[in-house]
Structure 1
């Protein structure tokens, strides 16, 4: 593994300085949230280590691979980002790509790459939880006052990335005509088949090729003579490991192999582990099953429903802990996903993201003859699925 840009003794010595720096920036300019995210070495994930104005500790559990999330994009591109109105400037379907936005309920932010030794090793994030046309002036004033440095890090403030604004009139018109139930069944079945095919190709094709390259690099490591050459090989190996982790996450989200080989509960735990790293919320599983396997259609649809329920809780509830209860009794599968965060109006929910989550969950429940109930209020949200375990047919 390549040498760390931030050795442990360096991090320990800089901790107080970085903490003081983010607090000073937050207070001086009136930001709602300021954070410095750092990587342990080139190609490693970023974590938001130092912060001021946070609503809790959730953001510190977010792990961002290069190219993912605000910090990951900034590190990979080496360019600053600026959004003054997230709801207007980011496609709602892309919200999940920015977990810090959900963790801290941000509406406007400026993210600046941080360099050390000529390499981008971190990101400075300054943000508001409101929208105001004067925010741009605040960001500019901060950049001018920093004058290219914060603590021992170089601040990059030129070459801002340009993002196309996604406005309402550009979004495709929605039809009010209902889709026939048989057609929905066919569409969902086709989606699952395609998810399974792509997941298998990624795992059996690209991932295996990368493993082969990684093995060759390890063999090459012992053949080269200079330390510099070994360092370059180590960095390449670390990048391949990161890509493999990313591919694994993608294949799990598409169609986890555990769902086909180990069953519903194991697959859901595997997906929850990824959500924990991405969104920072702790996901606690409770209950016991008397059998590990159910009919394939039940496993698939129950998994997708619970996957969506957990994802929604991670993204929207602002809750640090999510409870998932799984048990079976009397021929029925009982699953509940609950949080103690901010609730929503079940009858008229605020649409964020694609707006297809809750209707899709209900439709999948109908396909397996299950009952899906959603209760939400000031004390949090609970999604409960009760499905017959002896159901036949359906969409797998």
Structure 2
């Protein structure tokens, strides 16, 4: 602890110096002939130095904290010397001591305060060490080039004129060697920056979580900063707010990804963010009030400043809400959290429904994990908040949410939010439970239906069918035995019995034929057709092509399967084809089943395109029974059987 005292003292002193520079700039700004908006620069200085001081306090030997403190001090020097030099030269009477030299000395220190976070800090982030030894060269080139460019730019009359009036105390002579040195510095700076950035992108791609996320946060922040500093120069009121996101990204790494193993109290982070929001609000209001006060009467300026402060109130409230949401989640807005949960439930598919719901709960509470324990499972351990899930007076499980960090229990607001989310989670868990029960019951009923249908098929095919056939043969034998000796009444009775038996046999066959094929329930329509085609492979190879099909009505599905089955059987038995193809597709509200072969074909009957045959007649009857039609085209090059069966309203 003693080893941290001196570094912490130095870092805190740097924060106080930044605050003092900001206070001086705020006092001087309204009194300058051309006031400049220095409040945002001072805020950036304080934010960077404060974030660096926090890291120095927690990890004194880490370079990242000291780099942030240095960036804050450089920006504070720019703000403070600009205010001292500008007022001391142009306004103060007599002029302040050394004002001209102070104005020139800090005129360009804002440049390294913005470039260092986007280059050198990126190279050391997030471990505080360079990834490899060769990284020293681009870092040194960037640092050296930046120092020379900063000093060279500050020793010019043009830069001095931006701060104060009159001749600059010291001006760099424009000779060939000074120009060469500046050009070399610019080249070194550009090469170092480019190398660091290319290597950082490669490192980010190769990194593993959470280092990849930490790098991604910083890269997404410093990229706009690089653009507004080097590519598209922007005014200070644009550059500095972009630079403010750098300490913000590092705070995200600390809070969300435990950067360097640091666990910071969320109350401390929330307090810091609140102070930043309030400070930004007061700074903007103060700058606006100062500007209005110079152009209007005191009363009017005060009234307009008050109105402006009221107008900025909603923006401050939104920023405050964003800070609260970043640190604590949705604890103050349970309605929005429940709405987001409902949206996730509406968008997620059934397989990912429960993970999506639990992810939403964890995000809303900024918790590392959330899960559901089924009734009877062992209870959660320490550091986990358990909430019973009940629906209709029935326990459906326990929602377990892990605490954000060891020793950081949920607050009363967090528990209220969890209580508001628990019923929604319970409803989802119960719905999934009922879905699984329904699926199990459906499988049981389907299995029983298959077994009963198979039993009926066996009984009819192996029992009643042969028995009726035997009775028919017996009647036929009696008729043959009696012959002409039977009287007319006996012959009529036997003929009628034979007709009845033949009709009963036909009825049994019709019942067997009308039973829904088992493969349709076992594997589905397309797979059933594929299975039948594979069974015919020894006789003729059959290729099945199927487009995505909508849900088929049961009778249409049965008719289509029977038609394809009968057509393929005819191909194997009668066509002599070398290959065949089955096409299944839905078009214009109709299911199209096409069976094509390259066999010998057959001539149409009496010039009609409908050839004779029991199989073809059966297929045509099946198609018409469901409101469809069957088209058969045959010739020496093969046969094409196409069935068009309606899928919906036209049936």
TM-score (norm 2): 0.21
Structure 1 length as normaliser, TM-score?
0.33
Q: RCO higher in 1 or 2 (8 Å CA, sep ≥ 6)?
A: 1
More strand by share: 1
